[in-house]
Amino acid sequence: MSLTGKVALVTGGSRGIGRAISLKLAAGGADVIINYFRRRETAESTAREVEKLGVSAHIIKANVGEPEKIGLMFDEIKAKCGRLDIFINNAASGVARPALELDDKSWDWTMDINARAFLLCVQRAACLMTNGGKIVAISSLGSRLTLPAYTSVGVSKAALEALVRYLAVELAPRGICVNGLAAGGVESESLKLYTRGQEAAAAGAWQTTPAGRMVQGKDVANLVAFLCSDDSEMIRGQIIVIDGGVSLAPIGTAKPS
């Protein structure tokens, strides 16, 4: 897969899955703009890793939950690169509470960062994709399966996935492919945080996949790279599940290979 000469933006591209995506796109030859929220040092360290792969890296601090920050981020991208070829909507946040305990503030925070930001970013990104482009939204199984205390994020991901379908059709005439992926539990710091308060069996269920191992950030990054390549040109508006098969087998029934 060659992404040589392409310019990619990865929101939340500084750590976790976003970091794996930034590195994968860089390995394919793309220059990478790494958006982050509050941890500058982590973003700088990922940018150095990206540069080691022989492409350029640029970090931009912006809370994608705030429309004006999105505006400033794209102004900076326009001034620095003049165009964009790949946009990966990866940044996410959420408030881990049962539905009956969610207040308006938690709801707005989660929806603004996980769903509204995708729309607002795409509106700006599409204008910079003058030669067509690829857009990939990172969702999770929680958009359609219920997970404890995951309501706000699950609902925001459902909105994100619906947007993928609408945008895929609306942006197709501009030569822009829009797709999404829904990951199962990915071995990561954030999953550890999320499962911390859960029963051992529930927390451990994520680790038992029919594929025999947990999904890693690099598995997600590989799929993103495929969706950014011309090999996937006829896939439009789809949400590809990447979970090692875990959603096919009721919890506890999958036998590891």
Partner 1 sequence: MSPVEEKVKEIVIKIVRKPELDFTPTTTFKDMNADSLDIVQILVALEDAFDIEIIDEEMKEIANMGEFVAYIERKVAARKAA
Ligand X SMILES: NC(=O)c1ccc[n+]([C@@H]2O[C@H](COP(=O)([O-])OP(=O)(O)OC[C@H]3O[C@@H](n4cnc5c(N)ncnc54)[C@H](OP(=O)(O)O)[C@@H]3O)[C@@H](O)[C@H]2O)c1
The residues carrying an active-site annotation are 150, 157
Question: Which of partner 1, ligand X, none lies near 91, with the C-beta cut-off 5 to 8 A by kind?
Answer: ligand X
**SS3 track for the chain:** CCCCCCEEEECCCCCHHHHHHHHHHHHCCCEEEEEECCCHHHHHHHHHHHHHCCCCEEEEECCCCCHHHHHHHHHHHHHHHCCCCEEEECCCCCCCCCHHHCCHHHHHHHHHHHHHHHHHHHHHHHHHCECEEEEEEEEEHHHCCCCCCCHHHHHHHHHHHHHHHHHHHHHHHHCEEEEEEEECCECCHHHHHHHCCCCHHHHHHCCCCCCCCCECHHHHHHHHHHHCCHHHCCCCCCEEEECCCHHHCCCCCCCCC
**Measured distance CA(202)–CA(145) in Å, rounded:** 14
Residues 29-48: x where in contact with partner 1 by CB under 8 A, - otherwise, as a string: ---------x-x--------
Closer to ligand X by Cβ: residue 64 or 167:
64
Smallest gap from Cβ 147 to ligand X, in A, equals 10
Stretch that binds partner 1, among 101-109, 162-170, 223-231, 233-241 (CB under 8 A): 101-109
Nearer to ligand X, 132 or 207 (CB): 207
Q: Is 107 in the site for partner 1 (CB under 8 A)?
A: no
Our finding on whether 63 is near ligand X (CB under 6 A) is yes
- Report in angstroms how near the CB of residue 183 gets to partner 1 at its nearest: 24
Closer CB to partner 1, residue 104 or residue 253?
Answer: 104
Report the residue from 42, 45, 106, 198 that binds partner 1 according to the rule CB under 8 A.
106
* Residues ≥6 apart with Cβ < 8 Å to 105: none
Shortest Å distance, C-beta 85 to ligand X: 21
Establish if 63 lies at the interface with partner 1 (CB under 8 A): yes
Position 109 contacts partner 1 (CB under 8 A): yes
Which of 22, 28, 31, 35 touches ligand X (CB under 6 A)?
A: 35
Do 204 and 33 touch, CB atoms closer than 8 A?
Answer: no
> Taking the complex as a whole, how short is the minimal distance between the CB of residue 121 and partner 1, in angstroms?
18
Residues that bind ligand X (CB under 6 A): 11-12, 14-18, 35-39, 42, 63-65, 90-93, 113, 138, 140, 183, 185-186, 188-191
Residues that bind partner 1 (CB under 8 A): 38, 40, 63, 95, 105-106, 109
